[in-house]
C-alpha cells in the first residue's frame, strides 16, 4: 500500500476531527479567494471605464475629480470650459496629434442617472473596453439633426423598463416635479451591456441639451456662456487670437451662440506619430520636455522597461501642448490617474484584507497542528506496529506529513470552491452596482500561489507531530 493511501486511511479514520480541521482551513482560503476576486472586479471596473480615449480636456482643478466626474459620473463636474476649445481641436493645429475629439456637457440627472450631452461620434469613434465598437441592444445612435433624441445605457434601461420610443424628462434635481424637468427626449437607442459606467447613463443630443438650458429661465438655469469680461480677456491674448484665426481658416462655420457655449470636458483620442527617434533614456526625457508630441521608435530602445516608459510618455505627450495654449484647461490621462488612485487607496485596503485572510489561514494551520499533535498519543501503538512490521522512521514521518498536506489541500480546494461560489452567488448584486459580470470560473492569477502556499504551511505545521512519530520508541509503545 502506498504512503498516500495510508495517510488517506488515517485521515478517514479520524473523519470528524479531520473534517473540522479542513473546514477551518477552507474558510480562510475562501476569504482569501473572495478578496482576490472582488479586488479583480473592482480593478476591472476602474481600469476599463476610461478605455476608448487617451486624454480628457477639462477645467483646471483636481485631476482626480475631473476623471471621476467624467469617466465614472460619481463626482460633481469641474467648472465648464469654452466650447471653442473643442472647435480648436478640430483645426489643422492639432490634426497631427488628435484622431477624434468628443465634447460632453453634464449637469442633469434622470432618475438618479447622469445625463450626458454629446454628439453621435461618441458611439462611432470611441470603443468599448473589449476593443469593439459600441453596439445597440435596440435602435441606434441619434443623429446630429435629432435634437430631442436620447440613447439609454443598458442598466438604467433595465431598471426603469425603458423601451424605444419612450419619452423621458430630466432635470438638475433628478426628481419628478414637472416644473423641475426639461422637455421630453425620445429614446432612439438602448446600448448593449458594456461593463462601464455608461451602462448607468443617459446620452442626449448635445444641441438639444443646449437648447433645453438656454430656454430655461428658472432658478435651475445652467449658464454655459462665457462671461463678457472673460471673453474680452481671452480675445486680447495672443494664444486666443491665434486660436480664433486657426478656427476661421479651418472653415468651420459656427454661429455666435456656439462660441458662447460651454462644455464639461472633451474626450480626446490621439494619433500614432510617424516621426521616429532613437536615443538614450536621458535624451528621450529631455526631448519629451522640449518637443511635446514627438514619438519614439520602439524598436530602437534598449530594454522593455524603456519601451513601456516611452509608450506611456507618447500617449500623454499632447498634454503640455494643450495646456500651454488653452490656458483655462488641463489635459489629463485618465488611465494614469485611475491607476494611481487605485494603487494609493483601494490597493492598500486590498493588502489589509488579504493580510487578515492569511492570518485566518495561519490560525487554522496552527489548529491543524494541535489536532495532529494531540492524536499522536492515541497513535503511538499504531506507529509502533508499523515500525515492527519493517517501516522505517522516515516512512512514518512521511505519512504524518502527508496527512497534514492532504488536510491542507482538501481544505484549500473546498475553500476555492466556496469562495468562487459565494462571489458567483453575489454576481447579480455586483452586476447591478459595478456593471461587471462575474462568473464562477473567473480566477485571479494570485490564486495560483494558494496551493504551493498551503503545501508549505502543511509541511511546517506537520513537522512537529512528524518528529514525535519519528522518535517513537517501538518497545515502550508496544507494552500493554
The confidence band for 435, taking pLDDT boundaries of 50, 70 and 90, is low
Q: Tell me the pLDDT tens digit for each residue of 120-176.
A: 999 999 888 667 889 999 999 999 888 999 999 998 999 899 999 999 999 876 555
> Cα(50)–Cα(119) distance, rounded to whole angstroms?
18
- pTM score of the predicted model: 0.65
pLDDT for residue 251 is more than 50: no
**Cell numbers at residue 96, please?**
497631427
> Cα(403)–Cα(4) distance, rounded to whole angstroms?
8
Give the chain's domain count. Answer: 3
Share above pLDDT 90 across residues of the chain, in percent, rounded to a whole number: 18
- Helix/strand/coil percentages in the chain, nearest 5: 60, 15, 30
Q: Specify which residues 100 forms β-bridges with.
A: 269
Q: Tell me the pLDDT tens digit for each residue of 94-128.
A: 887 888 999 999 989 998 899 999 999 999 998 88
CA distances from 445 to 177, 335, 448 (A): 50, 22, 6
The mean of the pLDDT values for the chain is 75
The confidence band for 277, taking pLDDT boundaries of 50, 70 and 90, is very low
> Cα(272)–Cα(297) distance, rounded to whole angstroms?
11
Q: Are residues 109 and 234 in the same domain?
A: yes
Q: Are residues 85 and 231 in the same domain?
A: yes
Q: Are residues 173 and 38 in the same domain?
A: no
Q: Are residues 66 and 182 in the same domain?
A: yes
The confidence band for 286, taking pLDDT boundaries of 50, 70 and 90, is low
- Is residue 332 within 8 A of residue 341, CB to CB? The reply is no
The confidence band for 354, taking pLDDT boundaries of 50, 70 and 90, is confident
Task: Provide mean pLDDT across the span 343-354.
Answer: 73
Q: For residue 197, what is the DSSP state? A: G
The confidence band for 266, taking pLDDT boundaries of 50, 70 and 90, is very high
Q: Higher confidence at residue 123 or residue 74? A: 123
Q: Specify which residues 329 forms β-bridges with.
A: 59
Q: Are residues 85 and 175 in the same domain?
A: yes
Q: Tell me the pLDDT tens digit for each residue of 391-420.
A: 677 777 787 788 888 888 888 899 899 988
Q: Are residues 309 and 322 in the same domain?
A: no
pLDDT for residue 302 is more than 70: no
Q: Are residues 64 and 201 in the same domain?
A: yes
Q: Where is average pLDDT lowest: 65-79, 218-232, 253-267? A: 218-232
Q: Are residues 455 and 386 in the same domain?
A: yes
The predicted structure's pLDDT at residue 475: 56
- Is residue 440 within 8 A of residue 450, CB to CB? The reply is no
Q: Higher confidence at residue 464 or residue 259? A: 464
Say whether 361 sits in a helix, a strand or coil: helix
- The domain in which residue 450 lies consists of 3-46+338-478
The predicted structure's pLDDT at residue 122: 94
The predicted structure's pLDDT at residue 440: 74
> Cα(334)–Cα(340) distance, rounded to whole angstroms?
10
CA distances from 31 to 83, 361, 415 (A): 50, 9, 8
The confidence band for 81, taking pLDDT boundaries of 50, 70 and 90, is very high
Sign of the dihedral through C-alpha 403, 405, 410, 411: positive
CA distances from 310 to 81, 271, 304, 337, 426 (A): 30, 15, 10, 18, 41
Q: Are residues 379 and 458 in the same domain?
A: yes
Select from 455, 444, 348 the least CA-distant residue to 412: 455
**Cell numbers at residue 76, please?**
460633481
CA distance between the termini of the chain: 27
The predicted structure's pLDDT at residue 358: 81
Backbone angles phi, psi at 285, to 5 degrees: -60, -45
Q: Are residues 119 and 229 in the same domain?
A: yes
Q: Are residues 18 and 112 in the same domain?
A: no
Q: Are residues 144 and 233 in the same domain?
A: yes
The predicted structure's pLDDT at residue 344: 73
pLDDT for residue 290 is more than 90: no
Task: Provide mean pLDDT across the span 79-103.
Answer: 88
Amino acid at each position: 500500500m502506498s504512503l498516500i493511501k495510508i495517510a488517506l486511511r488515517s485521515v478517514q479514520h479520524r473523519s470528524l476531527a479531520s473534517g473540522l480541521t479542513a473546514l477551518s482551513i477552507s474558510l480562510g482560503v475562501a476569504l482569501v479567494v473572495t478578496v482576490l476576486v472582488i479586488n479583480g472586479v473592482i480593478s476591472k471596473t476602474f481600469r476599463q471605464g476610461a478605455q476608448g480615449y487617451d486624454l480628457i480636456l477639462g477645467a483646471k482643478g483636481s485631476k482626480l475629480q475631473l476623471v471621476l466626474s467624467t469617466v465614472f459620473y460619481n463626482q460633481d463636474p469641474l467648472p465648464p470650459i469654452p466650447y471653442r476649445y473643442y472647435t480648436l481641436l478640430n483645426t489643422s493645429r492639432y490634426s497631427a496629434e488628435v484622431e477624434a475629439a468628443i465634447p460632453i456637457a453634464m449637469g442633469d440627472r434622470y432618475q438618479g442617472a447622469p445625463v450626458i450631452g454629446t454628439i453621435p461620434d461618441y458611439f462611432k469613434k470611441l470603443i468599448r473596453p473589449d476593443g469593439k465598437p459600441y453596439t445597440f441592444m435596440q435602435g441606434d445612435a441619434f443623429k446630429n439633426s435629432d435634437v430631442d433624441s436620447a440613447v439609454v445605457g443598458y442598466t438604467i434601461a433595465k431598471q426603469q423598463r425603458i423601451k424605444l420610443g419612450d419619452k423621458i424628462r430630466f432635470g438638475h434635481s433628478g426628481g419628478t416635479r414637472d416644473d423641475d424637468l426639461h422637455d421630453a427626449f425620445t429614446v432612439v437607442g438602448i446600448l448593449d451591456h458594456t461593463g462601464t459606467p455608461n451602462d448607468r447613463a443617459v446620452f442626449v443630443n448635445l444641441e438639444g441639451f443646449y437648447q433645453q438650458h438656454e430656454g430655461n429661465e428658472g432658478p435651475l438655469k445652467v449658464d454655459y456662456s462665457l462671461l463678457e469680461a472673460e471673453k474680452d480677456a481671452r480675445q486680447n491674448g495672443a494664444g486666443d487670437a491665434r486660436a480664433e484665426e486657426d478656427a476661421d481658416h479651418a472653415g468651420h462655420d459656427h454661429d455666435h451662440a456656439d462660441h458662447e457655449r460651454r462644455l464639461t470636458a472633451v474626450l480626446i483620442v490621439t494619433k500614432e506619430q510617424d516621426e521616429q527617434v532613437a536615443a538614450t533614456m536621458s535624451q528621450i526625457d529631455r526631448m519629451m520636455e522640449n518637443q511635446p508630441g514627438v514619438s519614439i521608435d520602439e524598436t530602437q530602445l534598449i530594454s522593455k522597461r524603456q519601451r513601456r516608459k516611452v509608450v506611456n510618455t507618447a500617449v500623454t505627450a499632447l498634454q503640455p501642448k494643450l495646456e500651454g495654449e488653452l490656458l483655462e484647461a488641463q489635459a489629463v490621462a485618465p488611465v494614469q490617474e485611475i491607476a494611481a488612485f487605485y494603487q494609493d487607496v483601494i490597493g492598500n485596503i486590498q493588502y489589509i484584507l488579504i493580510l487578515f485572510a492569511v492570518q485566518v489561514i495561519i490560525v487554522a494551520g496552527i489548529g491543524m497542528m494541535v489536532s495532529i499533535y494531540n492524536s499522536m498519543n492515541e497513535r503511538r501503538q499504531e506507529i509502533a506496529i508499523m515500525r515492527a512490521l519493517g517501516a522505517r522512521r522516515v516512512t512514518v514521518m512521511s505519512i504524518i506529513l502527508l496527512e497534514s498536506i492532504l488536510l491542507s489541500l482538501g481544505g484549500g480546494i473546498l475553500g476555492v470552491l466556496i469562495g468562487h461560489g459565494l462571489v458567483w452567488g453575489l454576481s447579480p448584486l455586483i452586476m447591478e452596482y459595478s456593471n461587471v459580470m462575474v462568473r464562477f470560473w473567473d480566477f485571479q492569477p494570485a490564486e495560483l500561489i494558494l496551493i504551493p502556499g498551503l503545501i508549505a504551511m502543511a509541511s511546517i505545521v506537520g513537522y512537529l507531530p512528524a518528529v514525535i512519530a519519528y522518535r517513537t520508541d517501538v518497545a515502550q509503545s508496544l507494552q500493554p
